[in-house]
Amino acid sequence: MYNRGGNRWQKRLTKFRSIQLPLLITVMALMFVIAILGIDKKKPTSQSAVTNQKRSNLDGSRVQFDPTVEFLNNTEVIWKIPNSPKSVLFLAHGCNGRASNFWDKSPNCNHCVGLPEERLIVLEALARKFAVLTVSSKGKCWSLMKEPLVVKRIIKWWVEKQNLENLPLVALGASSGGYFVSMLATKMKFSSIALMIAEGVYDRIDITNHYPPTIFVHMPKDNARKKMIEVNLEVLRREGVDVAEIECMELPLTSSFLADRVPGLDLKISVELFDLFKEKGFVNKDGYLINDGRVIPWKEAMSKSKIRLPNEPLVNYIQEELNLAFAYHEMTSLKSEQIFDWFEAHLR
């Protein structure tokens, strides 16, 4: 009797397992895809994530900046290749930017300035074995008419010179650089691209299913741009292009926020600036900026106070981090891990 009962339960258990196994495999597959892409556009960046990024990357302990600077037909090219690179990353700055913004000052690049967000993107790239190539635009912003072909020739020349032509090529552009990269992707082959705070120029180009996988990294507080990105996501999807988006939300200032993110700024000055911002009403009761860092008169308020910065370039560094915290239109390194996960998932 017990054997017959055991057989009956065994049959039920076997049937249950036959149903459970495919379900388990499906769930595990979905979890794997989510883990690979690492994209959660709704989840805001936590303050601990900001601090952790600072601790792991801000001092450049994982890799060192010592780029090579060259000029090709009066166009500045700055680059670095890690040991055993697996891909080549082209970075395009925004308006008023230069290739030197991505690199710390060094013996090889005395004019490099290493803006906080740009340098962290480069550090992440080098740590993950991406060779990094940066190019300065001819004018204030990138020209969509002539410069795509100019940059195409530069990239082709450089990868052949460095014997990297067999490696997959990816690109990231911010603002004007994002428009530029979206156009450049019609002129040369990329494994994937990332457009930061830019909706691209998809109304001016012919899109085919050969267009590279594209991820939009944007700040939804800029509602007009958000809507244009939503339209372009659908346009690219209809053409069979793999697309994704990452939303970057605003961050509250704290007494240590600027010290955590700005190289060379100590905690004492960071605390003083935060206190000044509260006194002047530049932040609300929760620490969020009331307006973009370009708009609030924080520099005037600082000059009238007793706060003194150790060097002049720190003004631009602080400005960038205030823009980042307000999250309307600024380059951001806080989503670097997800961006490079996207690149790596599409290397071919």
In a domain, 52, yes or no: yes
Q: Which residues pair with 170 in a beta bridge?
A: 89, 192
24 domain-assigned: no
**4 in any annotated domain:** no
Q: Does some domain include residue 25? A: no
| Phi/psi at 309 (5° precision) | -85, 145
> 338 and 315, same structural domain?
no
Task: Please count the structural domains in the chain.
Answer: 2
Give the per-residue pLDDT at 324: 98
217 close to 246: Cβ distance less than 8 angstroms: yes
Q: Is the pLDDT of residue 281 over 50?
A: yes
Model pTM score: 0.85
**Per-residue pLDDT averaged across 184-213, rounded?**
96
Residue 102 has which token pair? 């991505």
Instruction: Residue 311: give the domain boundaries.
Output: 257-326
User: Would you give the DSSP letter of residue 56?
Assistant: I
* pLDDT given at position 65: 80
Mean pLDDT of 283-308: 96
Domain check: are 278 and 303 in the same one?
Answer: yes
Q: What is the pLDDT of residues 223-279, one digit of tens each?
A: 999 999 999 999 999 999 999 999 999 999 999 999 999 999 999 999 999 999 999
Categorize the per-residue pLDDT at 330 as very low, low, confident or very high, splitting at 50, 70 and 90. very high
Residue 35 lies in a domain: no
The answer to whether residues 233 and 275 belong to one domain is: no
Residue 10 has pLDDT above 80, yes or no: no
141 inside domain: yes
pLDDT of residue 52: 52
We report the CATH number of the domain holding residue 56 as 3.40.50.1820
> Token pair of 348, please?
């071919």
- 224/281 same-domain check: no
The answer to whether residue 42 is domain-embedded is no
Asked if residue 205 and residue 275 are part of one domain, the reply reads no
Report the mean per-residue pLDDT for the chain: 88
Q: Are 213 and 293 in a shared domain?
A: no
Q: Is 146 in the same domain as 275?
A: no
What pLDDT does 53 receive? 56
Give residue 326's pLDDT band: very low, low, confident or very high (50, 70, 90).
very high
Looking at the fold, whether 136 and 223 belong to one and the same domain comes out as: yes
For residue 61, the model assigns a pLDDT of 52
- For residue 214, list its beta bridge partners: 193, 243
- In angstroms, the CA 155 to CA 169 distance is 10
Strands (E) located in the chain: 68-72, 75-80, 87-92, 130-135, 169-174, 192-196, 214-218, 243-247
Q: Give the DSSP H or E segment for 6.
A: helix 2-37
For range 143-154, the mean pLDDT:
96
pLDDT of residue 328 exceeding 80, the answer is yes
Same domain (yes/no): 302, 193: no
Helix-helix angle 314-326:116-127, to 10 degrees: 80
Task: Identify the residue whose tokens are 């001819």.
Answer: 138
Contact 80, 121 (CB under 8 A): no
Work out whether strand 87-92 and strand 75-80 pair parallel, antiparallel, or are unpaired: unpaired
> Looking at residues 327-336, what average pLDDT do you find?
98
Res. 163: pLDDT tops 70: yes
Among the ranges given (21-25, 204-208, 226-230, 264-268), the one the predictor scored with the smallest mean pLDDT: 21-25
182 belongs to a structural domain: yes
Is residue 33 scored above 60 in pLDDT? no
- The answer to whether residue 295 scores a pLDDT higher than 50 is yes
* Same domain? 179 vs 293: no
Give me the percent of the chain exceeding a pLDDT of 90: 80
Question: Is the pLDDT at 20 greater than 90, yes or no?
Answer: no
User: 336 and 289 in one domain?
Assistant: no
For residue 149, CA distances in Å to 134, 142, 192 come to: 16, 12, 19
Choose between 13 and 292: higher pLDDT.
292
175 and 296: one domain? no
Q: Is pLDDT at 1 greater than 60 in this prediction?
A: no
Span 46-93, pLDDT tens digits: 555 554 555 444 455 556 788 999 999 899 999 999 999 999 999 999
pLDDT over 50 at 2, yes or no:
no
Least confident range of 17-21, 280-284, 296-300: 17-21
